[in-house]
Amino acid sequence: MNIRIYNARILTMEAHCEILEGEIQIQGDRITYLGKEKHSDDIKWDKEIDAEKNLIMPGFKNAHTHSAMTFLRSYADDLPLQEWLYQQVFPMEAKLTEEAVYWFAMLANMEYLTSGITANFDMYMKNEANAKASVDSGFRTVLCGSINDFGGTVREIEEEYRHFNDYDPLISYQLGFHAEYTTKREILEEMAALGKRYKAPVYTHNSETEQEVADCIERYGKTPTAFLDSLGMFAYGGGGFHCVHMTQEDLDICKERGIRIVTNPSSNLKLASGIAPIKKILDMGIDLAIGTDGPASNNCLDMFREMFLVTGLQKVSLKDASAVDAQEVLTMATVGGARVMGLDDCDILAEGKYADLIMVDLHQPNMQPINNIKKNIVYSGSKQNIRMAMVAGKILYQDGSFLFGIEPEEVYAKVNECIARMKKEG
Amino acid sequence: MNIRIYNARILTMEAHCEILEGEIQIQGDRITYLGKEKHSDDIKWDKEIDAEKNLIMPGFKNAHTHSAMTFLRSYADDLPLQEWLYQQVFPMEAKLTEEAVYWFAMLANMEYLTSGITANFDMYMKNEANAKASVDSGFRTVLCGSINDFGGTVREIEEEYRHFNDYDPLISYQLGFHAEYTTKREILEEMAALGKRYKAPVYTHNSETEQEVADCIERYGKTPTAFLDSLGMFAYGGGGFHCVHMTQEDLDICKERGIRIVTNPSSNLKLASGIAPIKKILDMGIDLAIGTDGPASNNCLDMFREMFLVTGLQKVSLKDASAVDAQEVLTMATVGGARVMGLDDCDILAEGKYADLIMVDLHQPNMQPINNIKKNIVYSGSKQNIRMAMVAGKILYQDGSFLFGIEPEEVYAKVNECIARMKKEG
């Protein structure tokens, strides 16, 4: 498909970029032109879209989530963490089938699109079903290894790494394990060796709760970051999800090893985990991205909520209303996410990059007046402002409709059927 | 107009209510029937709406805001509080005209509707223009007196009280002043006398920042709550906006005097003011409501953001994932707001009450699966879910369109024109 979007404001998200006025041309899955309006009469356009002066920008990257956990949304909230996890979440997860994961992940992909998210970094089980849901919905997914003592082997992670990195242009895979606190030392050492063999970064949940850090210190005499680093886990970089309770030494290790950090502020509030030291991480020049976490803990997959919280929580916890400005937040939500996920061709809007982009509706009351569009998006934006979301040159969501060929009501019916069955199994 | 909404889920927000299935009938500005489906063939319906199993519930009440401050949205964020207020906000406010306030307030009313808010408690200047904007847009507004040392007299507050409480069924007025720290003792004493004369509650900003409390203690040897109470300000109750830094003694006074509290969590984050002790206030049985604060400090007028923060911030600050559950938050956002604002006929859905209600779209990915609708709204809801908003029996917003007779583009043009003029005046 050749698509031309004209009469647009364009935010490329290149460093220090200003908002341009003009058009963007897409041929196949790539951006082929971006700049002042030109008609390019030599190209046959399948679609010419008048952006009506709305904003075109890179899609948001959801850099940490567990998509298929949609089935646990609002299933057991307002409970203490341990009771929630052991009495509610684990018993239901044990009943998951491939079919269920397929529909639950499909539902998440739809929700991502409504929030302008065009790619996710997904850590969960039954990756074949998850990948199929993304390919069938045209969505871009980076899978993340998730083994722990309760499931999977390092051998399987290696197989998945090779399989999913040669699966479909929309799918890629990064090495990973669930967390230090769920994974015995022997597996961790094998994972570190695997990372070295493939010269690949390794990703994991890290220092989400105070308890987790205290337990690791008791077990190994080191924080999770220092302990994993001592095993050579981050020889080729990697990333940590959450990273709420990080010492200065932990952050120094991140800086030195190129360990990227993905923050999940809503989840950290809802599960009472704490507030991550985002300003400090930014000041140290460590790469930062934003994730929603899974819908069991958040419960919604909404980058607008996360963006406001990334800055709002720093302002209140540092007692400084100037901490972490809107431009920094937008960078985390787009370029930062792409960097963490290894999506080098999805970071900014430029010729040759993948056409993973969104149209933000500025003709809504919450985007008016036009004093400052970037600040409007971070401080005032909502899902309601997403007019269109495109992945790899295909429009998947536009004006409230999903265009990838599966009816929403079919997805909802399948999802509710699967859950009813799982609940019934008792 | 006679309107019948059938095939609906209905959340009346009566205490301990469950969600019903059935229909709701509206004649004129009131609800005339609510219950199982019946066709009532004797009534001529102007509109019969199939709710498609979506949820009908009371509109949210925005219990503290400054509507016309939309003009300062994203005008000067990410700045220290004093610089923001004295170098950016005050100089621009000095240039406000009646016409500007009219359009700025109209813009806010539109934004409220997109978030399912059907009434606001508004403290600002040029109330005649504000009231006119609400009447012209069909929106319900409770005005709040806002005098301080820089503008207004108690005599004028009294005139406004009489004038706006006999103005239009959509408009009412409560006694109020800006804050202890902006208002000299003499005026405060006159305000207290006025409250007693009219046997009326008195409202004000209270204990928003640590500095404000410390300054009051230095000035009068008492916290703002204790000092104002010592003047007899709350002889007939009243309310405090923000109430972030409250002592146990302050809360005891609130309980004893019937002082209601309106929390504004986004604003308190963004301006680095702190986190209000909501759980404690709830446990004491003090009436609680939720406000967005004005768009200069928040920046958006979105009850969904506020609802998530009310509970999320308690969970994280108390390290208790079970603190302040979804039902309590929904109560604050509807019944609590109505109580604070004196809107006794807009609190719940029941026969005889005003038809101030919204339709929440459950056919969106973020509302699926249907494990628990109330929790879905609080933890996962967004503006995108508001299918319809009705005030006093009139549908003002439906499926993304504003139906009160003024085109959004006209409002945006007027708003941007007014601001351009104000900026130019230098």
A405 phi and psi, to 5 degrees?
Answer: 100, 5
Q: Which two tokens stand for residue B368?
A: 């699926």
Residues shown for chain A: 426
Angle between helix axes B127-137 and B98-114 (nearest 10 degrees) is 40
Q: Hey, what amino acid is at A372? A: N
Contact yes or no for B382 and A300 at CB 8 A: yes
B117 forms beta bridges with B60
Strands A2-10 and A55-58: parallel
- CA separation, residue B1 to residues A136, B47, B223, B388, B404 (Å): 47, 8, 51, 16, 14
The total of other beta-carbon atoms located within 10 Å of residue A328's CB is 20
Please check whether residue A190 is in contact with residue A231, taking contact to mean a CB–CB distance below 8 angstroms.
no
Quote the CA–CA distance of B205 and B224 in Å, as a whole number: 10
**Residue range(s) of every CATH 2.30.40.10 domain in chain B:** 2-58+349-402
Is A383–B366 a contact, with Cβ atoms under 8 angstroms apart?
A: yes
CATH 2.30.40.10 in chain A is located at 2-58+351-402
| DSSP one-letter string for A365-405 | GGG-S-S-HHHIIIII--GGGEEEEEETTEEEEETTEE-SS
Asked if B154 and B147 touch (Cβ cutoff 8 Å), the reply is yes
Q: Where in chain A is the domain with CATH 3.20.20.140?
A: 62-341
Whether B184 has a pLDDT exceeding 70, the answer reads: yes
A325 vs B contacts (CB less than 8 Å): 77-78
Q: How far is CA A171 from CA A57, A89, B348, B413, in A?
A: 22, 27, 49, 44
Is the minimum CB–CB distance between B134 and chain A shorter than 8 Å?
Answer: no
- The whole-number pLDDT of residue A248 equals 98
From chain A, pick out residues whose CB is under 8 angstroms from the CB of B304. Answer: 382
Beta-strand runs (E) in A47-102: 47-50, 55-58, 60-65
Q: Measured between alpha carbons, how far is A240 from A223 in angstroms, rounded to an integer?
A: 13
Q: Which residue has the higher pLDDT, A56 or B40?
A: A56
Confidence at residue B426, expressed as pLDDT on a 0 to 100 scale: 65
Give me the residue from A79, A269, A368 closest to B107, CB to CB. A368
Q: What's the confidence (pLDDT) of residue A55?
A: 98
Share of chain A above pLDDT 90, in %: 91
Q: Which amino acid is at B215?
A: D
Kindly list the distances between the CA atom of residue B198 and the CA atoms of A358, B102, B135, B193, B234, in Å, as whole numbers in the listed order: 55, 29, 26, 9, 12
d(CA B46, CA B7): 17
Backbone angles phi and psi of B305, in degrees to 5: -60, -45
Q: What does the pLDDT average to over B51-56?
A: 98
Q: Residue range B325-342: average pLDDT? A: 97
Query: Contact at 8 Å (CB) between B289 and B254?
Result: no
B107 touches chain A (CB under 8 A): yes
Peptide bond into B80 cis (omega under 30): no
Q: What is the pLDDT of residue B109?
A: 98
Distance CA B254, CA B287 (A): 9
pLDDT above 70: residue B207 = yes
Selecting from A269, A383, A384 the residue whose C-beta is nearest the C-beta of B315 gives: A269
Number of Cα atoms under 13 Å in the Cβ half of residue B64: 33
The architecture in CATH of the region A2-58+351-402 reads Roll (2.30)
Query: In chain A, positions 290-349, which contact chain B (CB-CB < 8 Å)?
Result: 295, 298-302, 304-305, 308-309, 311-313, 315-316, 318-323, 325-326
Could you give the CA distance from residue A242 to residue A64 in angstroms, rounded to a whole number?
Answer: 9
Q: Give all strands (DSSP E) within A123-263, no chain letters.
A: 140-144, 171-179, 202-206, 238-242, 259-263
CB atoms within 10 A of CB B47: 11
Query: Which chain A residues are within 8 Å of B419, Cβ to Cβ?
Result: 369, 371
Phi, psi of A338, rounded to the nearest 5 degrees = -60, -40
- Alpha helix segments (H runs only) across B302-360: 303-318, 326-331, 337-341
- Residue A46 pLDDT: 97
In angstroms, the CA B142 to CA B339 distance is: 12
- Residues 6 or more apart whose CB falls under 8 angstroms from that of B20 comprise B9, B10, B11, B12, B35
| Residues of chain A below pLDDT 50 | none
Homologous superfamily of domain range A62-341: Metal-dependent hydrolases (3.20.20.140)
| Per-residue pLDDT, B220 | 98
Q: CB neighbours of B410 closer than 8 A, spacing ≥ 6?
A: none
Reference A119, options A339, A311, A385; nearest CA is A339
B382–A383 C-beta distance less than 8 A: yes
For residue A114, which residues of chain B lie inside 8 Å, CB to CB?
Answer: 364-366, 384
**CA angle B37–B42–B48, rounded 5-degree value:** 50
What is residue A259's predicted lDDT score, i.e. its pLDDT?
Answer: 98
Q: Are B365 and B382 in contact (CB under 8 A)?
A: no
Chosen CATH of B2-58+349-402 out of 2.30.40.10, 3.40.640.10, 3.90.550.10, 3.40.50.720: 2.30.40.10
pLDDT of residue B307: 98
User: What per-residue confidence (pLDDT) applies to A88?
Assistant: 84
Q: Is B333 helix (H, G, I), strand (E, B) or coil?
A: helix
pTM of the predicted model, to two decimals? 0.96
Confidence (pLDDT) at A77: 74
Residue (of B179, B175, B264) closest to B225 by Cα position: B179
User: SS3 string of B57-84?
Assistant: EECEEEEEECHHHHHHCCCCCCCCHHHH
Is A268–B81 a contact, with Cβ atoms under 8 angstroms apart? no
Q: Are B338 and B61 in contact (CB under 8 A)?
A: yes
Contact B382 A304 (CB under 8 A): yes
In sequence order, the 6+-apart residues with CB closer than 8 A to the CB of A422 are A71, A92, A95, A96, A100
pLDDT of residue B87: 85
- How far is Cα A50 from Cα A69, in angstroms, rounded to an integer? 37
Q: How far is B160 from chain A (nearest CA, A)?
A: 29
Residues B74-104 pLDDT 10s: 887 777 767 877 888 888 999 999 999 999 9
The amino acid occupying position A56 is I
**Nearest residue of A to residue B374, measured between CA atoms:** A74
Residues in B touching A380 (Cβ below 8 Å): 73-74, 295, 298-300, 302
Do the Cβ atoms of A350 and A31 come closer than 8 Å? yes
pLDDT tens per residue across span A240-272: 999 999 999 999 999 999 999 999 999 999 889
- Name which CATH class applies to B60-341: alpha beta
Q: Which of A139, A75, A78 has its CA nearest to residue A107?
A: A139
Say what percent of chain B tops pLDDT 70: 100
pLDDT tens figures, B242-281? 999 999 999 999 999 999 999 999 999 988 999 999 999 9
User: How close are the terminal C-alpha atoms of chain B, in Å?
Assistant: 48
Q: Does B73 touch chain A (CB under 8 A)?
A: yes
DSSP state of B19: P
pLDDT tens-digit series, residues B113-134: 999 999 999 999 999 999 999 9
What is the DSSP-derived secondary structure letter of residue A33? E
ipTM for the complex?
Answer: 0.95
Collect all residues of chain A within an 8 Å Cβ-Cβ radius of residue B312: 266, 269-270
Give the integer Cα–Cα distance in Å for B412 and B420.
12
Q: Is B58 exposed, middle or buried (0-12, 13-18, 19+ CB in 10 A)?
A: buried
Chain A interface mutation, best of B299, B325, B367, B378, highest count of A Cβ atoms under 10 Å? B299
List of chain A residues whose C-beta atoms are within 8 Å of the C-beta of residue B315: 269-272
Match 């998730």 to its residue by tokens: A146
- Is residue B415 within 8 A of residue B110, CB to CB? The reply is no
CA distance A372 to chain B (A): 6
CA distance B53 to B173: 37
185-224 of A, contacting B, C-beta below 8 A: none
Predicted local confidence at residue A321, as pLDDT: 87
Inspect the interface and report whether the beta carbons of B369 and A318 lie closer than 8 Å.
no
Q: What is the mean pLDDT of chain B?
A: 96
- Per the DSSP assignment, residues forming a β-bridge with B8 are B22
Q: Is the pLDDT of residue B361 over 70?
A: yes
In the structure encoding, which two tokens stand for residue B184, read together?
A: 């000299």
